[in-house]
Amino acid sequence: MKTIGVISDTHGLLRWEAEAALASVDHIIHAGDIGTPDILERLNRIAPVTAVRGNNDKGQWAEPLPDTAIVDIGGQRLYILHDIAKLDVDPVVDGIAAIIAGHSHKPAVSEKNGVLFLNPGSAGPRRFTLPVAVAKLFVGDGAIRAEICNLLIKAPATRAQ
């Protein structure tokens, strides 16, 4: 059984809570909006990283990043992109077990026609009231399952008026 850490939308902020949640994984997938190259360097110290470029990943450092990637792990084919609205493959026809995308900052796990769809949510700056999260994929023995890992991030204290 392989454990794959899935992270997205860090926007230049890699929280220690995210690093801790990913500490024991075998591989990391970053589904875009990385923010800065040091995020990938830090993640690579934990496990090998596959990353795709998000719509906010600009500049020379981001140019080599692909828009999509396919990773085969434990006999399962994973397709990675940033924005699910830009999905340009038929996962059933192409033998893809899971589609991984970020962009919305909303963590979600669903299944359609035997294909797992995973959005790990945003692990970077909090957006609105959405949770700060990463995900884990468990791959092996011809099966794949996902789990959202909400990171316990305390809201900043407010001063009493």
Give CA 68 to chain center in angstroms: 13
Q: Angle 18-49-36 (CA atoms, 0-180°, nearest 5)?
A: 65
Kindly tell me the sign of the dihedral angle through the C-alpha atoms of 76, 149, 18, 56: positive
pTM of the model: 0.93
Judge whether residue 158 has pLDDT over 50.
Answer: no
Is residue 158 included in any domain, yes or no? Answer: no
Decide if 160 is inside a domain: no
Give the confidence band of 128 by pLDDT, cuts at 50, 70, 90: confident
Which helix (H) or strand (E) covers residue 8, if one does? none
59 found inside a domain? yes
Q: Is residue 159 part of a domain?
A: no
Q: Based on the structure, what is the number of domains in the chain?
A: 1
Contact 102, 32 (CB under 8 A): yes
Examine the pLDDT at 159 and tell me if it is beyond 60.
no
Kindly state whether residue 84 falls inside one of the protein's structural domains.
yes
155 within domain boundaries = no
| Contact present, 139 and 146 (Cβ < 8 Å) | no
* Contact by Cβ (8 Å): 30, 53: no
H or E segment and range at residue 32:
none
Determine, yes or no, domain membership for 161: no
Q: What is the pLDDT of residues 77-99, one digit of tens each?
A: 999 999 999 999 999 999 999 99
Is 12 a member of any domain? yes
Q: Residue 27 sits in which domain range?
A: 2-150
Q: Which CATH number covers residue 17?
A: 3.60.21.10
